[in-house]
Amino acid sequence: MTHFIVNPQSRSGKGASVWAEVEKQLKLKHNPYELHMTTCQGDAVKLARQLSNKAKETGETINIIGLGGDGTLCEVLNGLNLSDKVNLGYLPTGSGNDFGRSMHYPSNILTMVERITDEPETMPIDFGTVKLGTKPFDENRFSVSCGIGYDAAVCDALLTSRVKTFFNSIHLGKLAYLVVGLMELFKMKLSDGYMVVDGKRIELQKVSFISCHIQPFEGGGFRFAPNAYAQDGLLEVCVMSGGNKFALIPVLLKALFKARLNSPYVHHYSCKKVYIHMDTPRSTHTDGEVHGPQTDITVADSGQKINFIKI
């Protein structure tokens, strides 16, 4: 059976109309499915957990398709009881859509639906884990990226400001990221710290952000980790540090236009695991969902794979 976990609130309420279009196609083609609508944050985690637990018990292979923004995909991923009985798929409605962009999704939602329903093929893909703080907290999973510093502050501002809703309402959702990004740049404070990359300690000065990637893009189209590849079992870490905060502007522009990030202030690392310490608490995010200021985070490639339905 194919189960759809639908977030109707995604993309400032556009999720509901995208689902209506998808459902019409499913009915037209007589594709069997079950619908599970989310009503609040955390619902997709619970639904994914219930469905995947049941699949493991009964031995029935199921497809769980998240429909929403990258945050919805992240929730579904966090709820999954991983087994060879569960395939994960994703139909993006979000304005950020870094997952679909990274995975070269087609632009048409109905093409995506066809690929999911007509003899779907799966591929094993990686996901990351992040522990917040120094205590052995529960791990959060992510499918795109997680970060500390400026990139997370932008996510935080996007979730709380009306800028995103406004730009979505005039179909210029991407612009919201740029406008909020500039606003946050003026507020940003740099922090010193260090990180330990697969056991090797690296001192850091004037960090504006550190992003850890399974997929190359984050923040609604910024390619901070061109070498990130979701099948190599590695995390790509992008560190922006050392300059004054306005040194970030050319880097952001290059990332947005998919140019090489050749800047003395940008460093990339490939690793299995990174521990990051900031001397002052900084905002953190996983897949664009904000977790609040932290001084310490541990990020890793999970070492596990998801059966992902190719689109």
Residues that bind Mg ion (CB under 5 A): 229, 232, 234
Give the contacts of 275 (CB within 8 A, at least 6 positions apart): 195, 196, 296, 297, 298
Q: Which is nearer to Mg ion, 126 or 184 (CB)?
A: 126
Q: Which is nearer to Mg ion, 21 or 232 (CB)?
A: 232
Q: Which is nearer to Mg ion, 206 or 305 (CB)?
A: 305
Q: Which is nearer to Mg ion, 155 or 230 (CB)?
A: 230
Q: Which is nearer to Mg ion, 245 or 268 (CB)?
A: 268
Q: How far from chain centre, in Å, is Cα 143?
A: 5
CB 150 within 8 A of CB 106: no
Q: Which is nearer to Mg ion, 74 or 109 (CB)?
A: 74
CB of 96 to Mg ion, least distance (A): 20
CB of 232 to Mg ion, least distance (A): 4
CB of 307 to Mg ion, least distance (A): 17
Q: Which is nearer to Mg ion, 208 or 302 (CB)?
A: 302
Which contacts of 51-54 are long-range, i.e. CB under 8 A and separated by 24 or more positions? 51/3, 51/5, 51/86, 52/79, 52/80, 52/81, 52/82, 52/83, 52/85, 52/86, 53/81
In whole angstroms, what is the distance from residue 304 CA to residue 281 CA? Answer: 30
Structure tokens, 136? 């052995």
In whole angstroms, what is the distance from residue 169 CA to residue 171 CA? Answer: 5
CB of 17 to Mg ion, least distance (A): 34
Give the contacts of 128 (CB within 8 A, at least 6 positions apart): 141, 142, 143, 145, 146, 212, 214, 235, 299, 300, 301, 302
CB of 146 to Mg ion, least distance (A): 13
Q: Which is nearer to Mg ion, 295 or 302 (CB)?
A: 302
CB of 255 to Mg ion, least distance (A): 18
| Cα dihedral sign, 133-136-140-146 | positive
Q: How far from chain centre, in Å, is Cα 266?
A: 21
CB of 271 to Mg ion, least distance (A): 10
CB of 102 to Mg ion, least distance (A): 11
